[in-house]
Structure 1
């Protein structure tokens, strides 16, 4: 990047989807961010634009540096990976499309940031957001997050560095979650919890 982004460009960066880095703006604005190496255009239709690692770093520091009037407001339309237990988690075609787009964007971040462009294992961006990265991998594989009362997976943080726990009341569904995470490049082990319950411990694979 040769010079700091303009206020308009910064607003686009700050408003990026926190999970995938997807951005919106005019064609000219998006093209300029690509030139600045703050964004890239996805090669597959619908050719959406996503932040590069450099753009993500700028976004992460922007809210503290930008004046209050330029900070983005929270939006109910922003994609968020479901950890389980959130209200309104009924499957829908719209949600399935959002998950597919988010997963494709994440694979592109892997390609751009992992050594050798490897997409078969998590990248540094995911290791900084373990629970949401694991949840996105599960939902993208067709696993169902728990609702407020409906059964499904739940992803929680753990005291162990670089590890999250995945819970499910159904042993067969828990095994399916393990397979989905392994296919997405995670190391997974199963453990016993209180009262005979089982849970998964998942960590991003590095090699």
Structure 2
């Protein structure tokens, strides 16, 4: 059985950049993480260290879970995210703060994700999702939408039912597929165009019960 990381190693893992997994620490600390398969040293200068998929899993044990899988029916709003942890908005979040600071965070996260694609995709391709995105479908799709300027669905107003307007991204029972909903038909088509441009395969579907249209999006592999 693999030994869990030490407290010092866990602090380094927890402090990794949110999207890219770039690490900071002494050479000895980083080398120890590499030996345990939790990090890798990038072969290109400046030879930074990054979390491996196993390292990402270790870090995420302390983060809030993604939205639970759902059928096409609407799902509850997502759980809140611990303070200091960046997360793209999937729609329905409470106490969401907008403004220049949030825009900078989203832009930085998207640029970091493109860099992660360059480092981990075959041939350095940035036009299609990487392994991290396929392992975090809801967050990855939401980041592509938020970075492109789409507005997430606000939290429902107490006593007023579901909020209106804005995208909502949720997991589905289908493997490697998320559902994207947006009450405005034109905005839904714009979401589809954004996801396709970000390397996702997108199809439009209709819920039999409500007759509302939604998107199913999956990361493109080639």
TM-score class, shorter-chain normalisation, is 0.7 to 0.9
**Distance of 2:150 and 2:26 partners within structure 1:** 34
Instruction: Give the count of matched residue pairs.
Output: 188
Greater shift, 174-183 or 8-17, is seen at: 8-17
Is the aligned partner of 1:76 residue 2:74? no
Match of 2:111 in 1: 104
1:52 to 50, 53, 72: 50
Q: Does the 8 Å CA contact 1:82/1:145 hold for their aligned counterparts? A: yes
Shift of 1:9: 4.3
2:121 to 91, 114, 122: 114
Q: Which has the larger share of helix?
A: 1
Alignment CA distance shift 1:85-1:93 (3 Å): same
**Distance of 1:63 and 1:86 partners within structure 2:** 19
**Distance of 2:142 and 2:60 partners within structure 1:** 25
Q: Does the 8 Å CA contact 2:19/2:112 hold for their aligned counterparts? A: no
**Distance of 1:32 and 1:97 partners within structure 2:** 33
2:134 to 120, 127, 136: 127
Written as runs of structure 1 = structure 2, the 5 A alignment for 1:172-187 is: 172-187=186-201
- Aligned partner of residue 143 in structure 1, secondary structure: coil
**Distance of 1:189 and 1:147 partners within structure 2:** 24
**Distance of 1:30 and 1:123 partners within structure 2:** 28
- Aligned partner of residue 86 in structure 1, secondary structure: coil
Coordinate RMSD, CA, aligned: 3.3
Unaligned runs of 5+ residues in structure 1 are 65-70
Match of 2:203 in 1: 189
Match of 2:98 in 1: 91
TM superposition score normalised by structure 2? 0.72
Alignment CA distance shift 1:20-1:89 (3 Å): farther
- Aligned partner of residue 195 in structure 1, secondary structure: coil
